[in-house]
Amino acid sequence: MKVVIQRVSAAEVSVDSEIVGKINNGLLLLVGITHSDDEAVIKTIADKIVNLRIFEDDAEKMNLSLLDVKGEILSVSQFTLYADCKKGRRPAFTDAARPEYATELYNKFNDILKSYDIKVETGMFGAMMDVKLTNKGPVTIILDSNELIK
């Protein structure tokens, strides 16, 4: 699993010019699922995300988590995080999980995030989406389950 985390003051995702998910202060997550991901992986990543101390405290130090600031999440599926660009000029996506499997895990991942009593908005899995965001900081962090879980 790969997740690009962006701390935002606002973010929204649209499909066919219609907003399907919108948040204010919180995190935009671009979420990629691979073949070897399972429920244990998504639970570990979800827990890491909601507890990452990447929001500023009163001393302007990144010392607070999403839970501490009562932030929101916009979760957007992004199979292109598994692009393989080693050969040629056209990326291969063979490391991305098949849509049926990825959809199931992506939905479970979002349900786990919601279980922390967090507002979670989503895009539409498999749709062509437009994502708008105001990155606050900017703060962008990449989580890769291959680096976190061994």
Question: Which residues are catalytically annotated?
Answer: 80
- Asked if 126 contacts 99 with a C-beta cutoff of 8 angstroms, the reply is yes
DSSP state of 87: S
> CA 99, CA 83: separation in Å to the nearest integer?
15
- Asked if 131 contacts 13 with a C-beta cutoff of 8 angstroms, the reply is yes
Query: Strands 120-122 and 72-77, how do they pair?
Result: parallel
- Asked if 22 contacts 14 with a C-beta cutoff of 8 angstroms, the reply is no
- Asked if 33 contacts 1 with a C-beta cutoff of 8 angstroms, the reply is yes
- Quick one: which of 127, 140, 135, 136 has its CA closest to 20? 127
